[in-house]
Amino acid sequence: MGTNTFYNMSRWAAFWCKRALLRVVFRSFLLMSIILLSISIMVLSPNLYSVNEAHRPTTVSALVTGRQSINSTLHCAIQNGSLSTFARKYANHYTANDVDFLVAVDIIMKRKWQQNSAFSQVFRNDLRAALGDKGKLDRFILTRQNVRWGDKINFYRHKASARISRQLWQLLPKDTFFKPGIIQRCSVVGSSGILKGSQCGHSIDKADFVFRFNLADVKGYETDVGGKTNFTTLNPSLIMIKYSSLRRKEDRTRFAEALKQFKGSLLFLPAFAFKWRYQMLIQAASVAKKSVGLQPIFGHPDHYTSVANLWQKTINGTRWTTTGLHVLSSILDFCEQIDVYGFWPFPTTLDGRAVSYHYHNDINGTTSHSFGKEFRGLVYLHEQGIIKLHIGSC
């Protein structure tokens, strides 16, 4: 970006902030009117906002949840880029109580969603500033541009390192696919059972680039989850459990067979979490490339660390940010518009139907991540018009 553009943007930001502050008075007035109007609506029509009879929300608590959208300081970009400034600005805005939170989610999801370009820009700037150089988009994955053969790489979940071996070097792409602003629409598809019967396949496939996770099957589920895949991740635990760590030829054949439904996709491997799983992931990458022609890509451990530090501080989650949130926060500069499907950490839908952990199998969930806290972060981004979250049917 040229100095001129930057200068213009700063002037634009300053102008915008001043204007935003002037608007506060007007907005407070508007808020009062909205609250009064809502109270009248509630009184006249008590069922309008309720999830079900048992949990009718109190008007104010439900509305107060959305107060941040009228907080004008939120719209002014962070100037000094510190991580703690970001954490304070975007801290969790919702109650920790799931029942009350779901009431708020129901209200938020019923509102008409509109992309907020100005705030998206501010959020993207803030995120970029807080992530710093290590968290830049061009360091999302290892490429022959950002590492050299023989370089030392640190694992992020324990103190250990490895050198970029000849075998790994040969698997690395020459350059990154992830360049700022080159994709218009992205679908990010989680694997929650909330997608079952959603009929979201068509809507998901309309995007230019589709992200999926941990080889979640698409074959046989196209109506609900779509058929297009441009990026899917693979966790080491899946290779260990489902493909016996690829020890026998028969395991590797079965693995290659499962990969066929993702033909043409990138295969993202978090190879630098644990050293003792590193070699197995390199082997998985080789199989994927040789037998199915998938391009393996390896998450850069420094990039993961900066994203994980940021969210640990901001949403007070566990140390280990999920691959879902890692990918989502990495691609805000890659995609202009992001639609999110299949993220739902609760055992029932908003109207009380049971939701399985995955749409494609019947395993039970894990407790090693803070899905509930991460999901609150997604709802917040939806509420602010930065991403569009899809819950339920399309």
Distances (CA, A) of 52 to 41, 95, 190, 285, 352: 17, 19, 27, 48, 9
Query: Minimum CB separation from ligand NAG for residue 8, in Å?
Result: 21
What residues form DSSP beta bridges with 68?
Answer: none
What single-letter DSSP state applies at residue 185?
Answer: E
Shortest reach from residue 166's CB to ligand NAG, in Å: 29
Based on CB atoms, which residue is closest to ligand NAG, 39 or 182?
A: 182
Least Å distance, CB 21 to ligand NAG, is 11
CA separation for the pair 88, 86 (Å, rounded) = 5
Segment contacting ligand NAG by CB under 6 A, of 118-126, 151-159, 357-365, 384-392 = 357-365
Q: Write out the binding residues for ligand NAG, residues 41-70 only, by CB under 6 A.
A: 67
- Smallest gap from Cβ 322 to ligand NAG, in A, equals 17
Of the candidates 260, 320, 295, 273, which has an alpha carbon nearest to the alpha carbon of residue 178?
A: 295
Nearest distance, CB of residue 5 and ligand NAG, angstroms: 22
Q: Site for ligand NAG (CB under 6 A): which residue of 264, 348, 353, 366?
A: 264
φ and ψ at 9, to 5 degrees? Answer: -65, -40
Tell me: does residue 71 bind ligand NAG (CB under 6 A): yes
Binds ligand NAG by CB under 6 A, chosen from 45, 47, 114, 364: 364
Nearer to ligand NAG, 23 or 56 (CB): 23
Backbone torsions φ then ψ of 233, nearest 5 degrees: -100, 170
Please tell me the distance from the alpha carbon of residue 393 to that of residue 344, in angstroms, as a whole number: 13
Task: Pick the closer one to ligand NAG by CB: 264 or 293.
Answer: 264
DSSP per-residue string spanning 127-167: HHHHHTGGGSGGGSB--TTT--TT-EEE-SSSS-EEE--HH
Nearer to ligand NAG, 139 or 373 (CB): 373
Interface residue with ligand NAG among 74, 162, 355, 394 (CB under 6 A) is: 74
Number of Cβ atoms within 10 Å of the Cβ of 98 = 14
Q: Quick check: 84 binds ligand NAG (CB under 6 A)?
A: yes
| Residue 62, token pair as written in the block | 């439900």
- Interface pick for ligand NAG out of 148, 362, 367, 368 (rule CB under 6 A): 362
CA distance 317 to 88: 14
Q: Does 363 bind ligand NAG (CB under 6 A)?
A: yes
Site for ligand NAG in 301-320 (CB under 6 A): 316
Name residues whose C-beta falls within 8 Å of residue 80's C-beta, 6 or more positions apart in sequence: 129
Q: Would you count residue 212 as binding ligand NAG (CB under 6 A)?
A: no
- Tell which one of 8, 10, 79, 237 touches ligand NAG (CB under 6 A): 79
230 binds ligand NAG (CB under 6 A): yes
List 209's β-bridge partners, or say none: 186
Q: What does the per-residue mask of binding to ligand NAG show for 150-189, with x meaning CB under 6 A? A: ----------------------------------------
What whole-number distance in Å separates Cα of residue 338 and Cα of residue 132?
A: 22
**Among 38, 59, 85, 165, which residue sits at the site for ligand NAG (rule: CB under 6 A)?**
85
Helix boundaries (H) for the chain: 3-44, 59-64, 83-89, 98-110, 117-131, 166-171, 201-205, 222-225, 236-242, 249-259, 278-287, 301-315, 323-330, 371-383
* Nearest CB to ligand NAG, comparing residues 86 and 304: 86
Q: Is 252 in the site for ligand NAG (CB under 6 A)?
A: no
* Residues in touch with ligand NAG (CB under 6 A): 67, 71, 73-74, 79-80, 82, 84-85, 88-89, 208-209, 228-230, 264, 316, 362-364
